[in-house]
Structure 1
Amino acid sequence: MRILLIISVLFLLVACDNSAPSMALGSLERQRIALTATTNEVVVALPVAQGSMVSKGEVLVQLDDTLQKAHVTKALADVAQANANYEKLLKGAREEEIAAARAKVSGAKATLQESQANYRRIASMAKDNLASKANLDRSLASRDADAASLESAQEQLRELVAGSREEDIRFALANLDATEAVLLGEQKKLDDLTIRATRDGILDNLPWNLGERVTQGSPLAVVLAGKAPFARVYVPEPYRVKINIDDSLWVYVDGIDEPIEGRVTWIANEPAFTPYYALNQEERARLMYLAEVQLPDSSVSLPSGVPAQVAMP
């Protein structure tokens, strides 16, 4: 009788072992996209309600952009100024400026001729003791000054005719590029004050209220990206070698009678819990590997967070 009892217990244990669950447990999830604030500004508009479906590029949160628009306006003015200076150097002097410089040279020549004639006359008179040494020195200094003025006017004319130096043009071009780069940065900062959806999905959360001043780096909107959710489950260690990327598995969702066929999109190579080398053979069977099984687009209406099970192959 005792032997029969022992055999019955053994059969019961085997039966319990054979009925071990072949399900990977987890829940339905979607990728969470957190859109953060790049500066400290006030929320001035929340055009989309929480829980709404959103499309890529749709405005979710608008921050006050008054100050940043002023920065962009200043950057635009700096670019215009740098561009005007570059074009001025590139074109060189105007015809009117060159004509004025030529007229100045002609005037300086006439003045020098008069000074030379005056010096010769006084020098001749000084030989006959009809002019003082002081008058002779003054006429000589006036002649030399007029000669220097003529040379200066001629150099200015040559500078205008030759045009701008190549180094000055390159410097002006570099300055223009720098101001344009600053403008792009200011425009990017302005664009960042308008928080747009970066992917299609569901607007899950708006942490800040209208009129609040946000803190830099804090999330302004959280979007659950993608159409249908995926099942994030823990695969038991004995089934890890049987599962590969793109395998089809049946997903059972609480509240839905029929299973849904999903596709394995990712499975971890490392166990989620204690490393395998620290466990014996019996304990290794309890290791779990995190995996994601994508549901088809027909499951778009399923909410995130619902418990789900995936049947093991």
Structure 2
Amino acid sequence: MKYLTLLAVLMIITGCTEPEPRAFGQVERDRMTLTAPVNEVIKQILVEEGQQVSAGDALLRLDDTVAQAQLAQKQAELAQIQAKLAELVAGARGEEIARAKASVAEAKANVTEAQQDYVRTQRLYKTRVLTKADLDQAKANLDTADAKQAQAQQSLNELQNGTRSEQIDQARAMVNGAQAGVAIAQKNLADLTLITAQAGIVDVMPWQVGDRVVKGSQLVGLLATERPYVRAYIPATWLDRVSVGAQVNVLVDGREQSLTGTVRKVRSEPAYTPFYALNERDRARLMYLADIDLDAAGQQLPTGMALEVELLP
């Protein structure tokens, strides 16, 4: 009789025990959005919706007429500045130095002539043949000749000494700035061809060839094929048992064997009504979004497929 009573109690307890609740979710993949870098016309579309692409594949091209012209302009500016720098580094040509030396010789001859004229004027002034004004004019002519000789000599010295280091440094800085401008123009040109950074499936292609798009508008939407995960709503009662790195069972309809998932992230805020607006009974009904990475067996599950998640015992 005791055994029958104990068996009945166990059956009652077993019947009253509720199974572990399950969380519901669906398979998700990272979404990649490629936007228009400029206001431009679509020149070429290289893929279509549903097509699988690999990392580095070109998806779409915008018209590059303006970008090509801007690059050519920057390259011409760079070439001009580089030529100026080369000229400064090389210094004066032999012909320029020879011309400067000839100018110095001419200036010396003019000084000699002015000196002779001044001496002659002084002698005639003393004999009262010429006036004081004539003497002053002769002195002014001599001073002018001396000044021109000094100027010619300085020009020759400048050519012979070469370009100042400060000028060369300025020219080199201008070359660096022009090279940066060319790099920016090249980057702007390359950006007109949209390239995928990782393997994926083309999900959205809202435009056609010939459409003029606005900067920042979506041109291509991709779903990454790598690293699918489950986005599930977990109840608040699970929070003390579900943390980043925790293992869970993922149940797939039609499969007898469950998959193993690893919790990647749990949102700190509930998905619905804020925590502080609920009483103790209602707080147990709060749901929190969690992202759960799938194991190798779940890598091929289709995006959007509904799943169930349960805690490991």
> For the residues of structure 2 that align with 1:16 and 1:186, how far apart are their CA atoms?
73
Indicate the SS of the match to 1:42. Answer: strand
Amino acid at match of 1:79: L
User: Paired residues, what number?
Assistant: 302
Give the match for residue 312 of structure 1.
311
Report if aligned partners of 2:231, 2:291 keep a CA contact under 8 Å in 1. yes
Give the match for residue 214 of structure 2.
215
Indicate the SS of the match to 2:27. Answer: strand
- 1:162-201 to 2 correspondence within 5 Å? 162-201=161-200
> For the residues of structure 1 that align with 2:205 and 2:99, how far apart are their CA atoms?
68
Indicate the SS of the match to 2:207. Answer: coil
Give the match for residue 149 of structure 2.
150
What is the Cα deviation at residue 271 of structure 1? Answer: 2.1
Shift in alpha-carbon separation, 1:297–1:82, aligned structure 2, 3 A: farther
- 1:157-306 to 2 correspondence within 5 Å? 157-306=156-305
Amino acid at match of 1:43: I
What is the Cα deviation at residue 134 of structure 1? Answer: 5.7
Report if aligned partners of 1:228, 1:298 keep a CA contact under 8 Å in 2. no
Give the match for residue 18 of structure 1.
18
Q: Displaced runs of 4+ in structure 1, greater than 6 A?
A: none
Range with bigger deviation, 183-192 or 30-39: 183-192
1:157-194 CA distance string (max 9 Å, x none): 22223333343333323322222222222222112111
1:71-102 CA distance string (max 9 Å, x none): 01111111122222233333433343223222
What is the Cα deviation at residue 137 of structure 1? Answer: 4.5
CA RMSD of aligned residues (A): 2.6
Range with bigger deviation, 256-265 or 281-290: 256-265
Shift in alpha-carbon separation, 1:145–1:56, aligned structure 2, 3 A: same
What is the Cα deviation at residue 108 of structure 1? Answer: 1.0
- Indicate yes or no: 2:121 matched with 1:112: no
Shift in alpha-carbon separation, 1:234–1:139, aligned structure 2, 3 A: same
Shift in alpha-carbon separation, 1:205–1:16, aligned structure 2, 3 A: farther
What is the Cα deviation at residue 231 of structure 1? Answer: 0.8
Amino acid at match of 1:37: A
Give the match for residue 54 of structure 2.
55
Report if aligned partners of 2:259, 2:297 keep a CA contact under 8 Å in 1. no
Amino acid at match of 1:78: E
What is the Cα deviation at residue 39 of structure 1? Answer: 0.7
Amino acid at match of 2:21: S
What is the Cα deviation at residue 235 of structure 1? Answer: 0.9
Indicate the SS of the match to 1:241. Answer: coil
Report if aligned partners of 1:251, 1:260 keep a CA contact under 8 Å in 2. yes
**Normalised TM-score (structure 1):** 0.86
1:87-137 CA distance string (max 9 Å, x none): 333343334322322221122112211221233233323433445656545
Indicate the SS of the match to 2:240. Answer: helix
Structure 2 unaligned regions, length at least 5: 1-10
1:260-287 CA distance string (max 9 Å, x none): 2222211223322223343333222211
> For the residues of structure 2 that align with 1:183 and 1:16, how far apart are their CA atoms?
76
Give the match for residue 29 of structure 2.
30
Report if aligned partners of 1:228, 1:299 keep a CA contact under 8 Å in 2. no
Amino acid at match of 2:190: D
Amino acid at match of 1:293: I
**Normalised TM-score (structure 2):** 0.86
> For the residues of structure 2 that align with 1:102 and 1:120, how far apart are their CA atoms?
27
What is the Cα deviation at residue 217 of structure 1? Answer: 0.6
